[in-house]
Structure 1
């Protein structure tokens, strides 16, 4: 059929418009199909789960018990809210700083000591040892502040610092004097708190081999280097309800009955 040139030109323009519309519509359909396929596939794909070091410890030691340690650095504790470390983990014990050096007392100790007992949580007290101060005066300071009762954990000697005015040999003699005097007074053998590295460098000889050790190691490991640890302080950045600052998390290498056996009779 013959068409005039003008009509033929109009016919071609109309065909081009239809082709553009058909192509555009086809692209939209393809995009909708692709989007639906992506949505259906994404529902079946589980997102990657990255566990924190703390979460790994809680999972790995789920058959053990956990506790915290506190001092005035944690501020005023809201004891009515202090029940669990996380949704699954009860606070089984709390160890609190009582004394520092020869003559300092932690300003929150008496309040913390009272409320832990009231909540029926196993409690303990520790002394922060200053290596260049007199060991006997430090022991006397701790004894004057702490009144251990039945069911309390043994006294804890916290040694972290290296002396600048005496030798390591003299330091160890002083530590032993503190331990002996405190044990004589309370009738129970103290626990030693220190870090993995401090133990390895200064305390790993036979002088302290008969003591229970509470070891600090915040590295992303699944256990301390010191194999005979009884308590492991594995985090210093824990957050729990009732405390508005970072708090130390600890795991006891045993169950609640084993912890109770360690307490004062």
Structure 2
């Protein structure tokens, strides 16, 4: 996710990470200097709940060890655009559930490739559906800096707002749930023009690798999830992993999972 796993394609067609930490630095600087923002981060609740997000870049994961280390939830990459399914999604999604980890799927958006509706349907048909089983979160839309080209995918702010609205409405129609929206404040400011549209219903997952979530996207009253580092470590995973907080207790996260 992003600033999380980013992909490029080499001459052999293999997908690989590109420039995560350089991008993270740039995004942090942008966030620090943004002046046109109108919403600030609310304090975290007394209890926060530990989580991670993963893709096939984490390799084979021992989900029992992950759960025993105190990780309560995980967002797992399912899809990207309309032509890519993460090769470890099915394994991770089932194994996380069986280990007692509350799991959700996420979709890396490519708004220049197809409509929001097409990509929402692709996600819902490839692992991003929802069931009220106490361990399945609504899927997340990962909408952020374009790792393949222009930051805003060549879309105007109005066109980006329409694309996001199309995705969110279609996902809700397919699943009955309001998707989580993962983004950075700097990207949201630049590419949507401080749009406040989603935050009445859609949980905000803000990415900021720092000591606090900082200023939130315009209109967001609080953060629900916060990705605070991309270099975390967790038992059961070899190498670094994105670490996250849920802004509340596990019981409240179960309530979100069950649409309660």
> Same fold by TM-score, threshold 0.5 exceeded?
yes
Pick one of 153, 167, 173 that aligns with 2:162: 173
Task: Say which structure is richer in helix.
Answer: 1
Cα distance in 1 for residues equivalent to 2:247 and 2:154: 36
SS of residue paired to 1:259: helix
Structure 1 residues 23-172: aligned runs within 5 Å: 63-85=47-69, 90-134=70-114, 135-146=116-127, 147-150=129-132, 151=134, 152-161=136-145, 162-172=151-161
Seen in structure 2, the aligned counterparts of structure 1 residues 78 and 62 have a Cα distance that, compared at 3 Å, is: farther
* Alpha-carbon distance, 1:190 to partner: 0.7
* Alpha-carbon distance, 1:163 to partner: 3.2
Cα distance in 1 for residues equivalent to 2:99 and 2:65: 11
Cα distance in 2 for residues equivalent to 1:83 and 1:65: 12
Flag the structure with more relative contact order, 1 or 2, with Cα contacts below 8 A and sequence separation at least 6.
2
Seen in structure 2, the aligned counterparts of structure 1 residues 243 and 103 have a Cα distance that, compared at 3 Å, is: same
CA displacement 1:136-191 (0-9 Å, x = unmatched): 22112101111422221111100012334332221221111111001111111111
In our comparison, the structure showing a higher alpha carbon Rg is 1
Q: Give 5+ residue unaligned stretches, structure 2.
A: 1-43, 146-150
Structure 1 residue 225 corresponds to structure 2 residue 215? yes
Cα distance in 2 for residues equivalent to 1:155 and 1:93: 13
**2:242 counterpart residue number:** 248
**2:178 counterpart residue number:** 189
**1:30 counterpart residue number:** none
Cα distance in 1 for residues equivalent to 2:223 and 2:185: 10
Q: Is the 8 A contact 1:104 1:141 kept in 2?
A: no
Q: How many residues align?
A: 201
**2:207 counterpart residue number:** 216
> TM-score, normalising length from structure 2?
0.72
* Alpha-carbon distance, 1:61 to partner: 7.7
Q: Give 5+ residue unaligned stretches, structure 1.
A: 1-59
CA displacement 1:173-220 (0-9 Å, x = unmatched): 11111110011111111110001222333443232232210000003x
Cα distance in 2 for residues equivalent to 1:71 and 1:126: 10
Q: Is the 8 A contact 1:67 1:92 kept in 2?
A: yes
SS of residue paired to 1:261: helix
Structure 1 window deviating more from structure 2 (196-205 vs 255-264): it is: 196-205
Structure 1 window deviating more from structure 2 (107-116 vs 202-211): it is: 202-211
Structure 1 window deviating more from structure 2 (111-120 vs 134-143): it is: 134-143
Seen in structure 2, the aligned counterparts of structure 1 residues 257 and 80 have a Cα distance that, compared at 3 Å, is: closer
